[in-house]
Structure 1
Amino acid sequence: MSWDEWEQLKADAAARGGSARMQLNHLADPAGGGSSAVSSDRLKSDKKVWAKVGGDVKGLQDDIRKALGKLDDGQSGLGGGAGCESAAAQNELFHSWKKYVADVSGRCEGLGGLLERSGRDLSMSDADVRAELEKIKLKYQDTAAVGGQAKDK
């Protein structure tokens, strides 16, 4: 497009719309086609709320650590399960769940941190937030099922 064409398009738009300009704090008025101010109760974001929610999600880690400690205590007398198939299976299950619960703790930390950053900055685009959530999802994929599954299914 040449400069002259661009200037002509701008002049045509100015002649049609006059003083119409895009304003981010206005929405189209469905009744009259004009614009009306966005009321504060329709669109708002409170950084403190985002930070609190992020902190609360990260705070779940304390309860998870306590649960892992109890799980370790409950497993302490079993040993490796040598010589006893049910003890060996229980030991395998223990390690599987211990890893799973530790991953849940990691998810809490990652998601809580993302929520805190999103609230603090409020500058991340939806695509950036989605990408960060995908990273968390990939990092903490569920563990494979242990036992009880037929190999052909």
Structure 2
Amino acid sequence: MSTFEAEWAQMKREASGDTGMSLASADDKPGWAQGGSGGVKSSKTAWTTAGRSVGKLRGDIKTALTKLEEEQTGLGAGSDSGGGIRSAAAQRELYSSWKRYLKGVSGKCGAIQDRLERAGDHQYKNDEATKCAFDGLDVLYKDTKPVGGDSRGR
């Protein structure tokens, strides 16, 4: 049976993320903290595959948007009030919100796909140019706030 101190030390290791194991030849810093040798090569196939996958996701989103539009018919789709029924008006507002959201996500997928494919074709001058291209997405597309309000860093 283990002692309280041993159990407490084990619980502290688990809570801190420490595995409790280390290699004799390894120092405290992970390899990425020390900087790389620059020997990693980019694979066009990996970038292109990622671009295609995002493109497929964009296609799925467009299919969902089309289905959403089809299912909207018959609810007073031509009017903002939804034909005068409150629940239909609320549903129409929800539909408009989802339509706007899905169009935004589809646009972001298109932008990501383009950047992935360009990176695979080595159309960016260097890693920094590739990073800047992806960082530019934050300017174009803002993520939606989570439902339920501001988490305030929780």
CA RMSD of aligned residues (A): 2.9
| Alignment correspondent of 1:49 | 46
Deviations 1:20-42 (A, max 9, x none): xxxxxxxxxx9xxxxxxx7xxx7
For residue 69 of structure 1, report the CA deviation from its aligned partner. 1.0
Deviations 1:18-71 (A, max 9, x none): xxxxxxxxxxxx9xxxxxxx7xxx723211221121122122222111111110
Larger radius of gyration: 1
| Alignment correspondent of 2:64 | 67
| Alignment correspondent of 2:104 | 103
| Alignment correspondent of 2:136 | 135
For residue 96 of structure 1, report the CA deviation from its aligned partner. 0.9
Q: Are the equivalent residues in 2 in contact too, given 1:58–1:112 (CA < 8 A)? A: yes
| TM-score using structure 2 length | 0.59
Gaps of 5+ in 2: 1-25, 27-36, 150-154
Q: Map of 1:24-43 to 2, 5 A cutoff?
A: 43=40
CA distance in 2 between counterparts of 1:86 and 1:107 reads: 31
User: Which range moved further: 121-130 or 131-140?
Assistant: 121-130
| TM-score using structure 1 length | 0.59
Q: Are the equivalent residues in 2 in contact too, given 1:58–1:109 (CA < 8 A)? A: yes
CA distance in 2 between counterparts of 1:145 and 1:49 reads: 31
Q: Are the equivalent residues in 2 in contact too, given 1:100–1:142 (CA < 8 A)? A: no
User: Structure 1 residues 103 and 93, CA, compared in 2 at 3 Å: closer, same or farther?
Assistant: same
| Alignment correspondent of 1:9 | none
Q: Are the equivalent residues in 2 in contact too, given 1:64–1:105 (CA < 8 A)? A: yes
- Give the partner amino acid of 2:121: R
